[in-house]
Structure 1
Amino acid sequence: HRHQLNVMFVGGPNQRKDYHIEEGEEVNILFCIAWGCYCFVISSLFFFKSLILSSGQMFLLPARIPHSPQRYANTVGLVIERKRLTTETDGLRYYIGETTNVLFERWFYCDDLGTQLIPIIQEFFSSSQYRTGKPNPDEIVRETPFPLNNTTVMVPFSLQVWLNDHREDLIRKKSLRPFGDNFETEVVIFGPGITKEGGKNADIWIWQMEGTSIFMTEGKTLTLESGDSLFIPAKMTFQWKRTEGCIALCIAQDPMRKRPYA
C-alpha cells in the first residue's frame, strides 16, 4: 500500500553504507523466511549503534535519526511509514570511515524513496568524496534542515512474547499500546470488542493476528481471518467487531500527532 500510509515488505540481502534521515517515524517488524536477522545501524552525535532485529521482533524508530538498514539474505521485513508533508525534508548521507563526520549528504523532498535514492547514490559513487574519502572543500557545509534526534532508541522485542505476556490485559482492557502513547505513530493491539470510527485523519492498517473480526462500512461487510490484513483509507467511517479469541494489530500515523522538535 502506498497512500497516506506506506506499508511495505522489503527483502534481503541489502548491505549499504548510506544513512537515511526522515522527519517521520518508522515501524519495523521482521519475518524470516529461512534464517537470519537484520541489523539496524543508527548514528548518534559521536558513535554508531547496531540494533539486531531477529525473526518476529519489532521496534519503532523515532523521527530524525540517521539509520542504515542492513538486511541479510532470506529475511523479509515489514516497514510502515507515512507520506511526507510538503514541508518535510529527507536526507541521505555518508560518513568518513568509521567516524560520525559527514563525508557527503543531500537533502530532498521524498515522494518515492525507492526511485529517488538511486540517483543520489550514483552521484556519490561518481564524486570526489567517494574517490578520496574526504569531504569536497568546494561544497559549503550547511546546517541540517532540522535538529537531529539523539534520543535513546528502544530495544527490539518479540511481538509474540509481548502478546503472551499481555493476553489477560487485552481481554480486560480491550486494547493496549506496545509502544505507549508518546509517539506520532499509533500502534494498538486489540482484543475482543467493538470499535466505531467516525473518520480518522489518517489511513489505518489492520493485521488480524489471531481469531476473527467483522469489518462493516457503507453497507459492506468483511470478515477478517487469522493472517488477513486490511487497509482503511483516511476519513472512512466504520464499525469493527472483534470476536472472542481475536488479537489484531492496528497502525496509523496521523501527522497531526507529530511531536515538536526538542
Structure 2
Amino acid sequence: MAPFNLLDWVAENSGHFKPPVGNEYLYSGRDFFVMIIKGPNARNDFHQVDSEEFFIQLKGDVHVKTIEDGVVKVHRIREGEVFFIPPNVPHSPQRGPDTLGLVVERRRPEGEPEHLIFFCEKCNTLVYDKVFDCKDIVKHFAQAMEEFWADPVLSTCKKCGHRIAKP
C-alpha cells in the first residue's frame, strides 16, 4: 500500500457517503478498520460495542452524545480534535453538513455483540436494542437502522406510544 492524499480519496469516493451514517471504509484490515464519515448524517440511535473507538475530527465540528451512568452527555469535538470512547459506552455521533471525521475501531471477533439502541424521544424509555453480529459496519449497521424505522412495531414506544421516525 502506498501513501495517498486523504482529501483526494474523499473526493473520489464522495458518492459513497450516504445517510443515515455517511461512512465508508478507508482501510479494512484484519485487526482494525478505519472509516471516513462525512456529514450530514441522520441518526437518532446509539451504538455500543465492547471495544474502544477513536475519533479524529478533520473538518467542522461533531457532537457525540454518550450515555454515562444513565445520563446523556453531549461532547463537542472541534475540527482538529480527537476523542476516545471507552468500551460499552453507548454513543451517537451527530454530524452536520460538510463535516468530515475519521474513526478507528477494532475488528470485532465473530459472535461479539454489537448494539443498535433507540430510546423514546418523548419519555426516554428504551424502545429497541438490537444485538447482532455486525460483520460489515458500513453495510449492516445502516440496514439495521432502516429496518427499525420501517417497522411500526419495533419503532413504537411501548410506554407512551410515540413512534420513532427516521430523521
1:9 aligned residue (36, 39, 42): 36
Please state how far the C-alpha of 1:47 moved relative to its aligned partner. Answer: 2.1
Work out the CA distance in 2 between the residues paired with 1:64 and 1:100.
19
Q: TM-score, normalised by structure 1?
A: 0.47
Q: RMSD over aligned Cα, in angstroms?
A: 1.7
CA gap 1:120/1:76 in 2 versus in 1, 3 angstroms: same
Partner of 1:109: 133
Partner of 2:95: 71
Indicate if the aligned counterparts of 2:55 and 2:103 stay in contact, CA closer than 8 A. yes
Please state how far the C-alpha of 1:111 moved relative to its aligned partner. Answer: 1.2
Work out the CA distance in 2 between the residues paired with 1:118 and 1:111.
12
Indicate if the aligned counterparts of 1:31 and 1:55 stay in contact, CA closer than 8 A. yes
| Structure 2 unmatched runs, 5+ | 1-26, 160-167
Identity %: 29
Show the 5 A alignment for 1:175-186.
Answer: none
CA gap 1:78/1:102 in 2 versus in 1, 3 angstroms: same
Partner of 1:23: 50
Indicate if the aligned counterparts of 1:15 and 1:72 stay in contact, CA closer than 8 A. no
1:102-156 Cα deviation digits (max 9, x unpaired): 10121011211111123322221113242x4336xxxxxxxxxxxxxxxxxxxxx
Partner of 2:75: 51
Indicate if the aligned counterparts of 1:40 and 1:50 stay in contact, CA closer than 8 A. yes
**One-letter identity of the residue aligned with 2:102:** L
Task: For residue 128 of structure 1, give the secondary structure of its aligned residue in structure 2.
Answer: coil
Work out the CA distance in 1 between the residues paired with 2:71 and 2:121.
12
| Structure 1 unmatched runs, 5+ | 136-262
Partner of 1:188: none
- Give the number of aligned pairs: 131
Indicate if the aligned counterparts of 1:95 and 1:103 stay in contact, CA closer than 8 A. yes
Partner of 1:127: 152
Show the 5 A alignment for 1:49-198.
Answer: 49-97=73-121, 99-125=123-149, 126-130=151-155, 132-134=156-158
Task: For residue 116 of structure 1, give the secondary structure of its aligned residue in structure 2.
Answer: helix
1:76-99 Cα deviation digits (max 9, x unpaired): 101001110224110101002255
Partner of 2:65: 41
Larger Rg: 1
Indicate if the aligned counterparts of 2:66 and 2:91 stay in contact, CA closer than 8 A. yes
**One-letter identity of the residue aligned with 1:89:** P
Work out the CA distance in 2 between the residues paired with 1:98 and 1:52.
24
Q: TM-score, normalised by structure 2?
A: 0.72
Show the 5 A alignment for 1:171-250.
Answer: none
CA gap 1:99/1:26 in 2 versus in 1, 3 angstroms: farther
Work out the CA distance in 1 between the residues paired with 2:142 and 2:83.
26
Work out the CA distance in 2 between the residues paired with 1:46 and 1:60.
19
Indicate if the aligned counterparts of 1:46 and 1:100 stay in contact, CA closer than 8 A. no
